[in-house]
Amino acid sequence: MRNCRRASPTARPDVRVVSTLAAVIALAVFGIDALTPLDIAVGVFYVVVLLLVASAGNRPATIAAAWGCVALTLLGFLMSHDGAYSGGAIARCSVSLLAIATTSILALRNLAATTLLHEQVELLKLAQEALARSTAELAHVTRITTLGELAAPVAHEVTQPIAAIVTCGGAALRWLNRPTPEIDEAAQSVAQMIRDAKRADEVIQRIRSMAKKRDRLPVAVDLNGIVGESIELMRLELERHRVELTIDLAVPPPTACCDRVQLQQVLINLIMNSVQAMADVSGPRKLRIATRRFDDAHTQVIVQDSGMGISEENSGCLFNTFFTTKAEGMGMGLSICRSIVEAHGGRIWAESPAAGGAVLQFILPVDEGRCHEQ
């Protein structure tokens, strides 16, 4: 269970240490004020006591300290003058009391403002946590929705190896049912069945991984491998829309510190966005997916299409929530992509090259010492 206790935005001094120090200073000031014939307003130094107590952030203790300093000032005044109250002595006592009162009022106001600030900071933290949870929930829902849209490609991916298994199984039986069983041929058919079963299992595991709801787990992942897995899930969709795919992968394969399922979600969203952007293009529909080493600390993924491009008026709000240029779009896909990429410490942006089409690209940190072992 997550611990709900939170540290204060600013560290507070230890109350016992502050109380002890304040008491020592108060007694020292009282001793000087009551027992020495100094013609100065010694009680003014009680403001140090007030400031010390107020630094602990305890309003009742600050009020109590203020009244205590007033009482010590009056008691010291009575003891030091023994009934002979001159105008100067009364003035010095008044100055001390005024200093204590002023300091008390300012300290209490500061405590009230600090308390309000702490409450606002706590509310902001709660709001940020709620936003993060909402974003995670929305990303999960979007993954499920994406899988729904990919129902046909997924069914095709699973049906193909199952059909191959049935075919190879029938062939193996025929080889074994011959008057002289062909063991080698039957063994080859069984090996093909095992290969196709593993292929179907890989497809199912990818689907389950995308549909699973879990906390983000950054690991060092192979970007080229994620690109390949995403393309396999989208392959039938690409073929259905007659998209010419070009894959340009960096060698050696670049790695990034991220959650592989969420990264796959980003790639699938970007590929689907590009495919839909080219739906009304009469000419060749070309899609290029590339990986690069962006700099020493980041790797880059590029998705470029030959669609209608990005208009100047839409370029600044392309990744905004609920913004869409599609009649039936929800405007959540690219917004979730940005949330996922930025949550991993990366950056995503779009460009519209002069040659036409659109380029969607993002960068992710290579490794900031926060990756888990795979």
**Whether residues 232 and 277 fall in one domain:** yes
Question: Does any domain span residue 142?
Answer: no
Type of residue found at 264: Q
Bridge partner residues of 258 (DSSP) = 219
Q: 3-class SS at 336?
A: helix
Residue with tokens 């906390």: 215
Task: With CA atoms as reference, report the closest residue to 133 among 144, 141, 122.
Answer: 141
Distance of CA 14 to the CA centre of its chain: 33
Which residues lie closer than 8 Å to 316 by C-beta, 6 or more apart?
none
Distance of CA 161 to the CA centre of its chain: 39
Q: How many domains does the chain have?
A: 3
**Whether residues 83 and 203 fall in one domain:** no
Please write the tens of the pLDDT for every residue from 183-226. Answer: 888 888 888 888 778 777 766 666 665 555 555 567 788 899 98
**Whether residues 154 and 176 fall in one domain:** yes
The CA-atom distances, in angstroms, between 246 and each of 47, 286, 289, 306, 374 are: 75, 8, 6, 12, 29
Bridge partner residues of 288 (DSSP) = 246, 304
Question: Does any domain span residue 129?
Answer: yes
| Domain end marker among 211, 244, 264 | 211
How far apart (Å, rounded) are the C-alpha atoms in residues 262 and 340?
7
Residues in the chain: 374
**Whether residues 227 and 187 fall in one domain:** no
CA dihedral 208, 210, 215, 219 (to 10 degrees): 100
How far apart (Å, rounded) are the C-alpha atoms in residues 62 and 75?
20
How far apart (Å, rounded) are the C-alpha atoms in residues 187 and 175?
9
Take residue 28 and report the two structure tokens written for it: 């020292």
| pLDDT tens for each residue of the chain, 374 residues long | 334 444 444 455 666 777 788 788 878 887 777 777 666 777 778 888 888 888 877 788 888 888 888 888 888 877 776 655 666 778 878 888 888 888 888 888 888 888 888 888 888 888 777 766 666 665 656 655 555 555 555 565 566 677 778 888 888 888 888 888 888 888 888 888 887 787 777 666 666 655 555 555 677 888 999 898 888 777 777 888 889 999 999 989 988 888 777 788 788 888 888 888 888 888 889 999 999 998 888 999 999 998 888 777 766 667 765 555 554 544 456 777 888 888 888 888 888 888 788 899 999 988 655 565 44
Which residue segment(s) compose the domain that 235 sits in?
219-365
**Whether residues 166 and 228 fall in one domain:** no
Q: For helices 87-149 and 333-343, what crossing angle results, to 10°? A: 120
**Whether residues 89 and 154 fall in one domain:** no
**Whether residues 240 and 354 fall in one domain:** yes
**Whether residues 224 and 360 fall in one domain:** yes
**Whether residues 111 and 236 fall in one domain:** no
Take residue 195 and report the two structure tokens written for it: 């290969």
Please write the tens of the pLDDT for every residue from 261-274. Answer: 778 878 888 888 88
End-to-end CA distance of the chain: 24
**Whether residues 202 and 225 fall in one domain:** no
**Whether residues 174 and 229 fall in one domain:** no
How far apart (Å, rounded) are the C-alpha atoms in residues 363 and 356?
22
Buried b (16+ CB within 10 A) or exposed e, 243-279: beeeeebeeeebbbbbbbbbbbbbbbbbbbbbbbbbe
Burial class (CB in 10 A: 0-12, 13-18, 19+), 317: exposed
**Contact between residue 25 and residue 43 where contact means Cβ atoms under 8 Å apart:** no
